Protein backbone atom coordinates (compact mmCIF):
# COMPACT_ATOMS: atom_id res chain seq x y z
CA UNK A 1 0.00 0.00 0.00
CA UNK A 2 2.92 2.32 0.70
CA UNK A 3 3.62 2.40 -3.03
CA UNK A 4 0.20 3.85 -3.93
CA UNK A 5 -0.40 7.54 -4.47
CA UNK A 6 -2.77 8.78 -1.65
CA UNK A 7 -4.73 10.87 -4.16
CA UNK A 8 -5.30 7.89 -6.45
CA UNK A 9 -6.32 5.74 -3.45
CA UNK A 10 -8.99 8.27 -2.39
CA UNK A 11 -10.25 8.48 -5.99
CA UNK A 12 -10.56 4.69 -6.25
CA UNK A 13 -12.50 4.54 -2.97
CA UNK A 14 -14.93 7.20 -4.24
CA UNK A 15 -15.46 5.31 -7.50
CA UNK A 16 -16.04 2.04 -5.64
CA UNK A 17 -18.57 3.65 -3.33
CA UNK A 18 -20.37 5.24 -6.27
CA UNK A 19 -20.52 1.87 -8.05
CA UNK A 20 -22.09 0.26 -4.98
CA UNK A 21 -24.74 3.01 -4.79
CA UNK A 22 -25.55 2.62 -8.53
CA UNK A 23 -25.81 -1.17 -8.14
CA UNK A 24 -28.25 -0.80 -5.22
CA UNK A 25 -30.41 1.67 -7.19
CA UNK A 26 -30.47 -0.59 -10.26
CA UNK A 27 -31.26 -3.65 -8.13
CA UNK A 28 -34.26 -2.03 -6.49
CA UNK A 29 -35.40 -0.57 -9.85
CA UNK A 30 -35.22 -4.00 -11.49
CA UNK A 31 -37.00 -5.53 -8.52
CA UNK A 32 -39.80 -2.97 -8.84
CA UNK A 33 -40.03 -3.64 -12.60
CA UNK A 34 -40.09 -7.41 -12.01
CA UNK A 35 -42.76 -7.08 -9.30
CA UNK A 36 -44.89 -4.77 -11.42
CA UNK A 37 -44.83 -7.00 -14.50
CA UNK A 38 -44.54 -10.54 -13.20
CA UNK A 39 -45.71 -10.67 -9.60
CA UNK A 40 -49.04 -8.90 -9.76
CA UNK A 41 -50.66 -12.25 -8.92
CA UNK A 42 -49.07 -14.11 -5.99
CA UNK A 43 -47.66 -17.45 -7.02
CA UNK A 44 -49.58 -19.37 -4.37
CA UNK A 45 -52.11 -18.69 -1.65
CA UNK A 46 -52.52 -21.15 1.21
CA UNK A 47 -56.29 -21.30 0.94
CA UNK A 48 -58.89 -23.70 -0.48
CA UNK A 49 -60.04 -22.56 -3.95
CA UNK A 50 -63.58 -23.81 -3.24
CA UNK A 51 -63.86 -21.48 -0.24
CA UNK A 52 -62.78 -18.53 -2.38
CA UNK A 53 -65.23 -19.42 -5.17
CA UNK A 54 -68.13 -19.71 -2.70
CA UNK A 55 -67.39 -16.29 -1.28
CA UNK A 56 -67.44 -14.53 -4.70
CA UNK A 57 -70.98 -13.24 -5.45
CA UNK A 58 -70.20 -12.70 -9.16
CA UNK A 59 -69.89 -16.47 -9.77
CA UNK A 60 -72.52 -17.80 -7.34
CA UNK A 61 -74.57 -19.41 -10.15
CA UNK A 62 -71.58 -21.47 -11.27
CA UNK A 63 -70.98 -22.50 -7.65
CA UNK A 64 -74.61 -23.62 -7.46
CA UNK A 65 -74.19 -25.72 -10.61
CA UNK A 66 -71.16 -27.43 -9.10
CA UNK A 67 -73.30 -28.39 -6.10
CA UNK A 68 -76.22 -29.41 -8.34
CA UNK A 69 -74.07 -31.84 -10.34
CA UNK A 70 -72.26 -32.96 -7.15
CA UNK A 71 -68.89 -31.81 -8.40
CA UNK A 72 -67.90 -30.33 -5.03
CA UNK A 73 -66.14 -33.65 -4.36
CA UNK A 74 -63.45 -32.47 -6.79
CA UNK A 75 -62.12 -30.25 -4.03
CA UNK A 76 -61.61 -33.18 -1.65
CA UNK A 77 -58.66 -34.45 -3.69
CA UNK A 78 -55.14 -33.14 -3.98
CA UNK A 79 -55.49 -32.83 -7.76
CA UNK A 80 -55.15 -29.25 -8.97
CA UNK A 81 -58.01 -28.11 -11.22
CA UNK A 82 -58.37 -24.96 -13.29
CA UNK A 83 -61.89 -23.53 -13.54
CA UNK A 84 -63.07 -21.23 -16.32
CA UNK A 85 -66.06 -19.62 -14.67
CA UNK A 86 -68.77 -17.68 -16.54
CA UNK A 87 -70.30 -14.88 -14.52
CA UNK A 88 -73.87 -15.07 -13.26
CA UNK A 89 -75.00 -12.79 -16.10
CA UNK A 90 -73.25 -14.95 -18.72
CA UNK A 91 -74.98 -18.11 -17.47
CA UNK A 92 -78.34 -16.34 -17.36
CA UNK A 93 -77.90 -15.25 -20.99
CA UNK A 94 -77.23 -18.86 -22.00
CA UNK A 95 -80.12 -20.28 -19.98
CA UNK A 96 -82.51 -17.93 -21.74
CA UNK A 97 -82.19 -20.16 -24.82
CA UNK A 98 -80.76 -23.49 -23.64
CA UNK A 99 -79.92 -25.49 -20.53
CA UNK A 100 -76.55 -25.36 -18.81
CA UNK A 101 -75.83 -29.10 -19.01
CA UNK A 102 -73.28 -31.33 -17.33
CA UNK A 103 -71.31 -31.39 -20.61
CA UNK A 104 -71.08 -27.60 -20.58
CA UNK A 105 -69.95 -27.64 -16.95
CA UNK A 106 -67.32 -30.28 -17.76
CA UNK A 107 -66.04 -28.06 -20.57
CA UNK A 108 -65.20 -25.31 -18.05
CA UNK A 109 -63.01 -27.54 -15.87
CA UNK A 110 -59.49 -28.74 -16.63
CA UNK A 111 -57.56 -31.28 -14.54
CA UNK A 112 -54.35 -29.29 -14.88
CA UNK A 113 -52.76 -26.02 -13.85
CA UNK A 114 -52.97 -23.29 -16.49
CA UNK A 115 -50.21 -20.70 -16.29
CA UNK A 116 -50.75 -17.94 -18.89
CA UNK A 117 -47.07 -16.92 -18.81
CA UNK A 118 -46.16 -20.32 -20.26
CA UNK A 119 -48.59 -20.04 -23.19
CA UNK A 120 -47.25 -18.72 -26.47
CA UNK A 121 -49.83 -18.35 -29.22
CA UNK A 122 -52.37 -21.19 -29.18
CA UNK A 123 -52.61 -24.18 -26.88
CA UNK A 124 -55.22 -26.94 -26.84
CA UNK A 125 -56.38 -27.81 -23.33
CA UNK A 126 -57.99 -31.10 -22.28
CA UNK A 127 -61.22 -30.57 -20.31
CA UNK A 128 -63.40 -32.89 -18.24
CA UNK A 129 -65.79 -33.01 -21.22
CA UNK A 130 -63.07 -34.92 -23.10
CA UNK A 131 -63.04 -32.02 -25.51
CA UNK A 132 -60.05 -29.84 -26.27
CA UNK A 133 -60.59 -26.13 -25.66
CA UNK A 134 -58.51 -23.56 -27.54
CA UNK A 135 -56.52 -21.33 -25.18
CA UNK A 136 -54.82 -18.43 -26.90
CA UNK A 137 -52.63 -15.60 -25.64
CA UNK A 138 -52.03 -12.44 -27.63
CA UNK A 139 -49.93 -9.99 -25.65
CA UNK A 140 -51.63 -9.63 -22.28
CA UNK A 141 -55.01 -10.90 -23.57
CA UNK A 142 -55.91 -14.50 -22.79
CA UNK A 143 -58.92 -16.18 -24.41
CA UNK A 144 -60.74 -19.51 -24.27
CA UNK A 145 -62.36 -20.36 -27.63
CA UNK A 146 -62.15 -16.67 -28.46
CA UNK A 147 -63.81 -15.55 -25.17
CA UNK A 148 -61.69 -13.14 -23.13
CA UNK A 149 -60.67 -14.36 -19.68
CA UNK A 150 -61.07 -11.12 -17.77
CA UNK A 151 -59.80 -12.20 -14.34
CA UNK A 152 -57.17 -14.65 -13.16
CA UNK A 153 -57.02 -15.83 -9.57
CA UNK A 154 -53.89 -16.79 -7.65
CA UNK A 155 -52.99 -20.45 -7.43
CA UNK A 156 -54.65 -21.83 -4.32
CA UNK A 157 -53.87 -25.13 -2.61
CA UNK A 158 -56.06 -27.18 -4.92
CA UNK A 159 -56.58 -25.03 -7.99
CA UNK A 160 -57.21 -21.65 -9.55
CA UNK A 161 -59.91 -20.03 -11.66
CA UNK A 162 -60.55 -17.50 -14.40
CA UNK A 163 -63.67 -15.42 -14.96
CA UNK A 164 -65.35 -14.86 -18.32
CA UNK A 165 -68.38 -12.88 -19.53
CA UNK A 166 -69.66 -15.61 -21.85
CA UNK A 167 -70.30 -19.35 -21.57
CA UNK A 168 -68.00 -21.51 -23.70
CA UNK A 169 -70.19 -24.15 -25.32
CA UNK A 170 -68.29 -27.37 -26.15
CA UNK A 171 -67.15 -27.27 -29.76
CA UNK A 172 -68.05 -30.07 -32.14
CA UNK A 173 -65.21 -31.92 -33.79
CA UNK A 174 -64.96 -31.60 -37.56
CA UNK A 175 -66.99 -34.75 -38.14
CA UNK A 176 -69.78 -33.61 -35.80
CA UNK A 177 -69.80 -30.21 -37.50
CA UNK A 178 -70.41 -31.73 -40.92
CA UNK A 179 -73.06 -34.08 -39.56
CA UNK A 180 -75.07 -30.93 -38.83
CA UNK A 181 -74.03 -28.78 -41.78
CA UNK A 182 -73.48 -31.09 -44.73
CA UNK A 183 -74.79 -34.67 -44.52
CA UNK A 184 -73.33 -35.34 -47.99
CA UNK A 185 -69.78 -35.04 -46.65
CA UNK A 186 -70.77 -36.97 -43.52
CA UNK A 187 -72.15 -39.74 -45.74
CA UNK A 188 -68.95 -39.75 -47.78
CA UNK A 189 -66.84 -40.13 -44.64
CA UNK A 190 -69.07 -42.91 -43.30
CA UNK A 191 -68.88 -44.76 -46.62
CA UNK A 192 -65.13 -45.11 -46.14
CA UNK A 193 -65.46 -47.41 -43.12
CA UNK A 194 -63.67 -50.70 -43.72
CA UNK A 195 -63.37 -53.87 -41.64
CA UNK A 196 -59.84 -55.25 -41.41
CA UNK A 197 -58.11 -58.02 -39.51
CA UNK A 198 -56.32 -56.99 -36.33
CA UNK A 199 -53.30 -59.28 -36.59
CA UNK A 200 -52.04 -58.40 -33.12
CA UNK A 201 -55.28 -59.51 -31.46
CA UNK A 202 -56.15 -62.34 -33.88
CA UNK A 203 -54.79 -65.79 -33.08
CA UNK A 204 -53.54 -68.15 -35.84
CA UNK A 205 -55.27 -71.51 -35.51
CA UNK A 206 -54.07 -73.40 -38.58
CA UNK A 207 -53.71 -73.43 -42.35
CA UNK A 208 -56.08 -73.98 -45.26
CA UNK A 209 -55.50 -76.36 -48.19
CA UNK A 210 -53.46 -73.72 -50.03
CA UNK A 211 -51.18 -73.01 -47.08
CA UNK A 212 -52.77 -69.71 -46.06
CA UNK A 213 -52.93 -68.97 -42.34
CA UNK A 214 -56.36 -69.26 -40.74
CA UNK A 215 -57.02 -66.83 -37.87
CA UNK A 216 -59.40 -66.81 -34.95
CA UNK A 217 -60.39 -63.42 -36.27
CA UNK A 218 -60.60 -60.17 -34.36
CA UNK A 219 -61.80 -57.51 -36.77
CA UNK A 220 -61.53 -53.76 -36.35
CA UNK A 221 -63.14 -50.91 -38.25
CA UNK A 222 -60.88 -48.33 -39.85
CA UNK A 223 -61.95 -45.30 -41.83
CA UNK A 224 -60.04 -44.75 -45.06
CA UNK A 225 -61.00 -41.07 -45.13
CA UNK A 226 -59.30 -40.53 -41.78
CA UNK A 227 -56.30 -42.59 -42.90
CA UNK A 228 -55.88 -40.50 -46.08
CA UNK A 229 -56.82 -37.02 -44.92
CA UNK A 230 -57.29 -36.36 -41.20
CA UNK A 231 -58.87 -38.11 -38.16
CA UNK A 232 -61.92 -35.85 -38.07
CA UNK A 233 -63.61 -37.83 -35.27
CA UNK A 234 -60.62 -37.63 -32.93
CA UNK A 235 -59.23 -34.80 -30.83
CA UNK A 236 -55.46 -34.68 -30.75
CA UNK A 237 -53.60 -32.12 -28.69
CA UNK A 238 -50.89 -31.28 -31.22
CA UNK A 239 -52.54 -32.00 -34.59
CA UNK A 240 -55.35 -29.99 -36.17
CA UNK A 241 -56.73 -29.46 -39.64
CA UNK A 242 -58.54 -26.86 -41.70
CA UNK A 243 -61.36 -27.95 -44.00
CA UNK A 244 -62.94 -25.66 -46.58
CA UNK A 245 -66.17 -27.23 -47.82
CA UNK A 246 -69.43 -25.61 -48.95
CA UNK A 247 -72.33 -25.69 -46.55
CA UNK A 248 -75.43 -27.70 -47.47
CA UNK A 249 -77.43 -24.90 -49.11
CA UNK A 250 -74.58 -23.67 -51.30
CA UNK A 251 -73.58 -27.21 -52.16
CA UNK A 252 -77.11 -28.09 -53.29
CA UNK A 253 -77.53 -24.80 -55.21
CA UNK A 254 -74.34 -25.55 -57.15
CA UNK A 255 -75.61 -29.06 -57.93
CA UNK A 256 -78.89 -27.58 -59.21
CA UNK A 257 -77.00 -25.25 -61.56
CA UNK A 258 -74.99 -28.23 -62.78
CA UNK A 259 -78.21 -30.19 -63.36
CA UNK A 260 -79.66 -27.38 -65.47
CA UNK A 261 -76.46 -27.24 -67.51
CA UNK A 262 -76.72 -30.97 -68.16
CA UNK A 263 -80.38 -30.65 -69.18
CA UNK A 264 -82.57 -33.57 -70.14
CA UNK A 265 -83.78 -35.44 -67.08
CA UNK A 266 -81.49 -33.41 -64.79
CA UNK A 267 -83.36 -30.52 -63.20
CA UNK A 268 -82.37 -30.12 -59.52
CA UNK A 269 -79.62 -31.12 -57.10
CA UNK A 270 -81.45 -34.34 -56.24
CA UNK A 271 -80.99 -35.55 -59.83
CA UNK A 272 -77.18 -35.52 -59.62
CA UNK A 273 -76.06 -39.07 -58.76
CA UNK A 274 -74.47 -39.51 -55.34
CA UNK A 275 -72.05 -41.91 -57.02
CA UNK A 276 -70.68 -39.07 -59.16
CA UNK A 277 -70.42 -36.80 -56.13
CA UNK A 278 -68.48 -39.46 -54.19
CA UNK A 279 -66.26 -40.41 -57.12
CA UNK A 280 -65.53 -37.01 -58.69
CA UNK A 281 -66.83 -33.92 -56.88
CA UNK A 282 -66.05 -34.60 -53.23
CA UNK A 283 -62.48 -35.88 -53.83
CA UNK A 284 -61.89 -32.73 -55.91
CA UNK A 285 -63.11 -30.50 -53.07
CA UNK A 286 -61.02 -32.38 -50.51
CA UNK A 287 -57.89 -32.11 -52.65
CA UNK A 288 -58.26 -28.32 -52.73
CA UNK A 289 -59.78 -27.85 -49.28
CA UNK A 290 -58.07 -29.92 -46.56
CA UNK A 291 -54.96 -28.52 -44.88
CA UNK A 292 -52.82 -29.34 -41.88
CA UNK A 293 -53.06 -26.97 -38.90
CA UNK A 294 -55.53 -24.18 -38.25
CA UNK A 295 -55.24 -21.70 -41.11
CA UNK A 296 -56.54 -18.17 -40.63
CA UNK A 297 -58.48 -16.26 -43.29
CA UNK A 298 -55.43 -14.11 -44.01
CA UNK A 299 -53.49 -17.16 -45.18
CA UNK A 300 -55.95 -17.62 -48.06
CA UNK A 301 -55.43 -14.09 -49.40
CA UNK A 302 -53.46 -13.88 -52.65
CA UNK A 303 -50.34 -11.71 -52.31
CA UNK A 304 -50.57 -8.59 -54.51
CA UNK A 305 -47.47 -9.51 -56.53
CA UNK A 306 -48.69 -13.01 -57.45
CA UNK A 307 -51.19 -14.18 -60.06
CA UNK A 308 -52.38 -17.11 -57.95
CA UNK A 309 -52.07 -18.33 -54.40
CA UNK A 310 -50.84 -21.87 -53.86
CA UNK A 311 -50.90 -23.77 -50.57
CA UNK A 312 -49.73 -27.24 -49.60
CA UNK A 313 -52.74 -29.44 -48.91
CA UNK A 314 -52.75 -32.05 -46.16
CA UNK A 315 -51.18 -34.61 -48.51
CA UNK A 316 -48.31 -32.26 -49.32
CA UNK A 317 -49.47 -31.35 -52.84
CA UNK A 318 -49.33 -27.74 -53.97
CA UNK A 319 -52.84 -26.61 -54.95
CA UNK A 320 -54.12 -23.34 -56.38
CA UNK A 321 -56.61 -21.51 -54.17
CA UNK A 322 -59.32 -20.17 -56.47
CA UNK A 323 -61.97 -19.54 -53.82
CA UNK A 324 -62.55 -17.32 -50.78
CA UNK A 325 -63.22 -19.08 -47.45
CA UNK A 326 -65.68 -17.42 -45.07
CA UNK A 327 -67.51 -18.04 -41.79
CA UNK A 328 -64.73 -19.72 -39.85
CA UNK A 329 -66.05 -22.17 -37.26
CA UNK A 330 -63.71 -23.21 -34.47
CA UNK A 331 -64.04 -26.95 -33.95
CA UNK A 332 -62.41 -28.98 -31.23
CA UNK A 333 -59.87 -30.39 -33.69
CA UNK A 334 -59.55 -27.67 -36.30
CA UNK A 335 -61.25 -24.98 -38.36
CA UNK A 336 -64.17 -25.37 -40.77
CA UNK A 337 -64.81 -22.78 -43.46
CA UNK A 338 -67.64 -22.22 -45.92
CA UNK A 339 -67.20 -20.96 -49.50
CA UNK A 340 -68.02 -17.33 -50.22
CA UNK A 341 -69.30 -18.49 -53.62
CA UNK A 342 -69.42 -22.09 -54.78
CA UNK A 343 -69.72 -23.17 -58.39
CA UNK A 344 -68.88 -26.65 -59.66
CA UNK A 345 -66.23 -26.45 -62.42
CA UNK A 346 -67.83 -27.70 -65.63
CA UNK A 347 -64.61 -29.56 -66.41
CA UNK A 348 -65.64 -32.07 -63.72
CA UNK A 349 -68.76 -33.16 -65.61
CA UNK A 350 -68.42 -31.88 -69.18
CA UNK A 351 -64.77 -32.53 -69.88
CA UNK A 352 -63.23 -35.48 -71.67
CA UNK A 353 -62.63 -38.76 -69.86
CA UNK A 354 -59.76 -41.02 -70.86
CA UNK A 355 -59.57 -44.78 -70.35
CA UNK A 356 -56.07 -46.20 -70.66
CA UNK A 357 -55.69 -49.44 -72.61
CA UNK A 358 -53.21 -50.85 -70.11
CA UNK A 359 -55.85 -50.53 -67.37
CA UNK A 360 -57.42 -53.74 -68.73
CA UNK A 361 -54.51 -55.88 -67.50
CA UNK A 362 -52.62 -56.53 -64.29
CA UNK A 363 -49.00 -57.56 -63.85
CA UNK A 364 -48.48 -61.14 -62.66
CA UNK A 365 -44.70 -61.38 -63.02
CA UNK A 366 -41.76 -59.98 -64.92
CA UNK A 367 -43.23 -58.95 -68.31
CA UNK A 368 -46.24 -61.17 -67.59
CA UNK A 369 -49.79 -59.88 -67.53
CA UNK A 370 -53.34 -61.18 -67.28
CA UNK A 371 -56.76 -59.68 -67.93
CA UNK A 372 -58.52 -57.98 -65.03
CA UNK A 373 -61.26 -60.56 -64.74
CA UNK A 374 -63.42 -58.41 -62.47
CA UNK A 375 -63.84 -55.76 -65.19
CA UNK A 376 -62.77 -57.34 -68.51
CA UNK A 377 -64.21 -60.38 -70.26
CA UNK A 378 -62.37 -61.96 -73.21
CA UNK A 379 -63.77 -64.69 -75.46
CA UNK A 380 -61.27 -66.17 -77.91
CA UNK A 381 -60.82 -69.38 -79.89
CA UNK A 382 -57.11 -69.24 -79.08
CA UNK A 383 -55.30 -67.91 -76.04
CA UNK A 384 -53.37 -64.71 -76.66
CA UNK A 385 -51.40 -63.17 -73.80
CA UNK A 386 -52.01 -59.45 -73.27
CA UNK A 387 -49.01 -57.19 -72.76
CA UNK A 388 -48.50 -53.80 -71.23
CA UNK A 389 -45.89 -52.40 -73.56
CA UNK A 390 -43.92 -49.30 -72.65
CA UNK A 391 -43.75 -46.89 -75.59
CA UNK A 392 -42.28 -43.41 -75.41
CA UNK A 393 -44.85 -40.88 -76.54
CA UNK A 394 -47.85 -43.05 -75.69
CA UNK A 395 -50.41 -41.83 -73.19
CA UNK A 396 -48.74 -42.46 -69.83
CA UNK A 397 -45.93 -44.09 -71.86
CA UNK A 398 -47.63 -47.49 -72.16
CA UNK A 399 -50.16 -49.34 -74.33
CA UNK A 400 -52.22 -52.53 -74.39
CA UNK A 401 -50.87 -54.92 -77.04
CA UNK A 402 -52.49 -58.25 -77.94
CA UNK A 403 -50.75 -59.99 -80.84
CA UNK A 404 -52.51 -62.69 -82.92
CA UNK A 405 -50.98 -65.17 -85.30
CA UNK A 406 -50.77 -63.84 -88.89
CA UNK A 407 -54.08 -64.32 -90.69
CA UNK A 408 -56.00 -65.32 -87.57
CA UNK A 409 -59.69 -65.67 -88.44
CA UNK A 410 -61.13 -67.02 -85.20
CA UNK A 411 -63.04 -65.27 -82.43
CA UNK A 412 -61.62 -62.55 -80.24
CA UNK A 413 -64.13 -60.46 -78.32
CA UNK A 414 -63.19 -58.14 -75.48
CA UNK A 415 -65.94 -56.68 -73.27
CA UNK A 416 -65.29 -53.95 -70.69
CA UNK A 417 -66.93 -51.06 -68.90
CA UNK A 418 -66.50 -47.42 -69.80
CA UNK A 419 -65.92 -44.79 -67.10
CA UNK A 420 -69.08 -43.42 -65.49
CA UNK A 421 -70.86 -41.28 -68.08
CA UNK A 422 -73.79 -38.87 -67.92
CA UNK A 423 -76.61 -39.51 -70.42
CA UNK A 424 -75.81 -37.50 -73.55
CA UNK A 425 -74.19 -37.86 -76.94
CA UNK A 426 -70.47 -38.67 -76.99
CA UNK A 427 -67.75 -38.78 -79.58
CA UNK A 428 -65.47 -41.66 -78.64
CA UNK A 429 -61.86 -41.58 -79.88
CA UNK A 430 -59.62 -44.66 -79.99
CA UNK A 431 -55.84 -44.22 -80.30
CA UNK A 432 -54.28 -47.33 -81.78
CA UNK A 433 -51.38 -48.68 -83.87
CA UNK A 434 -51.87 -48.54 -87.63
CA UNK A 435 -49.88 -51.74 -88.34
CA UNK A 436 -51.59 -54.07 -85.83
CA UNK A 437 -55.29 -54.74 -86.19
CA UNK A 438 -57.88 -56.26 -88.49
CA UNK A 439 -61.58 -55.81 -89.09
CA UNK A 440 -63.51 -54.92 -85.92
CA UNK A 441 -67.14 -54.29 -85.02
CA UNK A 442 -67.54 -52.05 -81.97
CA UNK A 443 -70.66 -52.17 -79.80
CA UNK A 444 -71.82 -49.89 -76.98
CA UNK A 445 -74.66 -51.15 -74.79
CA UNK A 446 -75.36 -53.84 -77.37
CA UNK A 447 -75.64 -51.42 -80.30
CA UNK A 448 -73.21 -51.48 -83.23
CA UNK A 449 -71.60 -48.03 -83.37
CA UNK A 450 -68.68 -48.59 -85.76
CA UNK A 451 -67.18 -51.17 -88.09
CA UNK A 452 -63.54 -50.31 -88.60
CA UNK A 453 -61.07 -51.84 -91.03
CA UNK A 454 -57.45 -51.11 -90.16
CA UNK A 455 -56.70 -51.39 -93.90
CA UNK A 456 -58.13 -47.86 -94.21
CA UNK A 457 -54.88 -46.55 -92.75
CA UNK A 458 -53.05 -48.02 -95.74
CA UNK A 459 -55.46 -46.84 -98.44
CA UNK A 460 -55.67 -43.33 -96.94
CA UNK A 461 -51.92 -43.11 -96.27
CA UNK A 462 -52.62 -42.79 -92.57
CA UNK A 463 -54.96 -39.80 -92.79
CA UNK A 464 -58.53 -40.38 -91.58
CA UNK A 465 -61.50 -38.08 -91.33
CA UNK A 466 -63.29 -37.87 -88.00
CA UNK A 467 -67.03 -38.35 -87.66
CA UNK A 468 -66.94 -34.74 -86.41
CA UNK A 469 -66.95 -32.38 -89.39
CA UNK A 470 -63.71 -30.44 -89.74
CA UNK A 471 -61.46 -32.83 -87.82
CA UNK A 472 -58.82 -35.07 -89.42
CA UNK A 473 -56.59 -37.62 -87.72
CA UNK A 474 -52.96 -37.48 -88.79
CA UNK A 475 -50.34 -40.16 -88.07
CA UNK A 476 -48.17 -39.73 -84.98
CA UNK A 477 -45.32 -42.05 -85.81
CA UNK A 478 -47.06 -45.38 -86.42
CA UNK A 479 -49.96 -44.42 -84.13
CA UNK A 480 -53.23 -42.84 -85.17
CA UNK A 481 -56.86 -42.53 -84.12
CA UNK A 482 -60.39 -43.27 -85.28
CA UNK A 483 -63.71 -42.33 -83.69
CA UNK A 484 -67.46 -42.91 -83.58
CA UNK A 485 -70.63 -41.43 -82.09
CA UNK A 486 -72.42 -42.93 -79.09
CA UNK A 487 -76.02 -41.82 -78.52
CA UNK A 488 -77.50 -44.56 -76.34
CA UNK A 489 -76.32 -43.57 -72.84
CA UNK A 490 -79.68 -43.30 -71.10
CA UNK A 491 -78.66 -43.02 -67.44
CA UNK A 492 -75.58 -42.20 -65.42
CA UNK A 493 -73.24 -45.15 -65.15
CA UNK A 494 -70.72 -47.30 -66.97
CA UNK A 495 -71.54 -48.28 -70.54
CA UNK A 496 -70.87 -51.81 -71.83
CA UNK A 497 -68.27 -51.69 -74.62
CA UNK A 498 -67.28 -54.60 -76.86
CA UNK A 499 -64.58 -54.88 -79.54
CA UNK A 500 -65.45 -57.87 -81.74
CA UNK A 501 -62.78 -59.17 -84.13
CA UNK A 502 -64.29 -60.11 -87.53
CA UNK A 503 -61.24 -61.06 -89.56
CA UNK A 504 -57.61 -60.35 -90.46
CA UNK A 505 -58.14 -57.78 -93.28
CA UNK A 506 -55.07 -56.78 -95.27
CA UNK A 507 -52.89 -55.38 -92.50
CA UNK A 508 -49.27 -56.24 -91.68
CA UNK A 509 -50.07 -57.82 -88.29
CA UNK A 510 -53.27 -59.00 -86.65
CA UNK A 511 -54.20 -58.18 -83.08
CA UNK A 512 -55.39 -55.25 -81.01
CA UNK A 513 -53.47 -52.25 -79.74
CA UNK A 514 -55.16 -49.64 -77.55
CA UNK A 515 -53.27 -46.65 -76.23
CA UNK A 516 -56.41 -44.98 -74.88
CA UNK A 517 -60.14 -44.57 -75.43
CA UNK A 518 -61.44 -41.05 -74.91
CA UNK A 519 -65.06 -40.06 -74.27
CA UNK A 520 -65.91 -36.49 -75.30
CA UNK A 521 -69.37 -34.95 -74.75
CA UNK A 522 -70.71 -33.68 -78.07
CA UNK A 523 -70.77 -30.09 -76.80
CA UNK A 524 -66.99 -30.18 -76.39
CA UNK A 525 -66.07 -32.80 -78.98
CA UNK A 526 -64.83 -30.28 -81.54
CA UNK A 527 -62.27 -28.85 -79.13
Digit-coded pLDDT (tens) for 225-257: 999 999 999 988 889 999 999 999 999 999 999
Same domain, 270 and 307: yes
Same domain, 214 and 319: yes
Span 143-167, mean pLDDT? 95
- The per-residue pLDDT for range 157-205, each reduced to its tens digit, is 999 999 999 999 998 999 999 999 889 999 999 999 887 766 666 667 7
Confidence of residue 217 (pLDDT cuts 50, 70, 90): low
Angstrom distance (rounded) from CA 335 to CA 293: 8
Angle between helices 174-181 and 183-190 (to 10 degrees): 130
Angstrom distance (rounded) from CA 85 to CA 83: 6
Which of 167-181, 200-214, 374-388 bottoms out in mean pLDDT, i.e. has the lowest? 200-214
User: For residue 280, is pLDDT > 50?
Assistant: yes
Span 342-353, mean pLDDT? 94
Span 492-500, mean pLDDT? 97
User: For residue 35, is pLDDT > 50?
Assistant: no
Q: Give the other-Cβ count within 10 Å of 84's Cβ.
A: 24
Residue 94 in any domain: the answer is: yes
Give how many domains the chain has, as a whole number.
3
Domain endpoint, select from 327, 345, 363: 345
Domain containing residue 113: CATH number: 2.30.180.10
- The per-residue pLDDT for range 359-373, each reduced to its tens digit, is 999 999 998 999 999
Tell me the pTM: 0.76
Q: How far is CA 249 from CA 183, 254, 431, in A?
A: 11, 9, 43
Nearest CA to 339 out of 258, 249, 246, 253 is that of 246
Angstrom distance (rounded) from CA 448 to CA 222: 45
| C-alpha torsion sign, points 454, 459, 463, 466 | negative
Report DSSP state, residue 523: G
Confidence of residue 78 (pLDDT cuts 50, 70, 90): confident
Same domain, 318 and 378: no
Same domain, 465 and 377: yes
In a 10 Å sphere around its CB, with 0-12 CB exposed, 13-18 middle and 19+ buried, how is residue 162 labelled?
buried
Domain containing residue 417: CATH number: 2.60.120.260
Query: What is the separation of C-alpha 484 from the centre of its chain, rounded to a whole number of angstroms?
Result: 39
So what's the pLDDT on residue 241? Answer: 97
User: For residue 104, is pLDDT > 90?
Assistant: yes
Same domain, 360 and 506: yes
Q: Sort strands 81-86 and 159-164 into parallel, antiparallel or unpaired.
A: parallel
> At 144, is the secondary structure helix, strand, or coil?
strand
So what's the pLDDT on residue 122? Answer: 86
Angstrom distance (rounded) from CA 84 to CA 107: 9
Residue 5 in any domain: the answer is: no
Angstrom distance (rounded) from CA 270 to CA 258: 11
User: For residue 212, is pLDDT > 80?
Assistant: no
Confidence of residue 403 (pLDDT cuts 50, 70, 90): very high
Could you tell me what percent of the chain has a pLDDT over 90? 73
Which of 15-24, 400-409, 444-453, 470-479 bottoms out in mean pLDDT, i.e. has the lowest? 15-24
Same domain, 157 and 216: no
Angstrom distance (rounded) from CA 524 to CA 429: 13
CB 182, CB 245: distance < 8 Å: yes
Which of 15-19, 177-181, 201-205, 416-420 bottoms out in mean pLDDT, i.e. has the lowest? 15-19
Residue 357 in any domain: the answer is: yes
Domain endpoint, select from 149, 164, 179: 164
State phi, psi for 241 to the nearest 5 degrees: -140, 160
Same domain, 339 and 201: yes
Range of the domain at 326: 193-345
Amino acid sequence: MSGLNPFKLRTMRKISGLAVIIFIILFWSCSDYWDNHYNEIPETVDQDVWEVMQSDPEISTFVGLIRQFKYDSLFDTRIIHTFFIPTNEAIANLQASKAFTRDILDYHIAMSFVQPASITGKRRLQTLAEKLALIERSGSKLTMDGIVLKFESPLYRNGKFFKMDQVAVPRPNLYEFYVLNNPILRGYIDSKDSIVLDREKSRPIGFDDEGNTIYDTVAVVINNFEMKYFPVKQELRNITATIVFPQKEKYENALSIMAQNLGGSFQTHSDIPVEWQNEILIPHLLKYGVFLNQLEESEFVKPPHKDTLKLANIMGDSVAILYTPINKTICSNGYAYDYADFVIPDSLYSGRQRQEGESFVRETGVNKYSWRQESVKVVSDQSFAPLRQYIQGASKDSILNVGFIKGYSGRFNIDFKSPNLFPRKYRVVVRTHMDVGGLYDIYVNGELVRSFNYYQYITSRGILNSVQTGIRFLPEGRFNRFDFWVENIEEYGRANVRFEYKGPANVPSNGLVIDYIEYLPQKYSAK
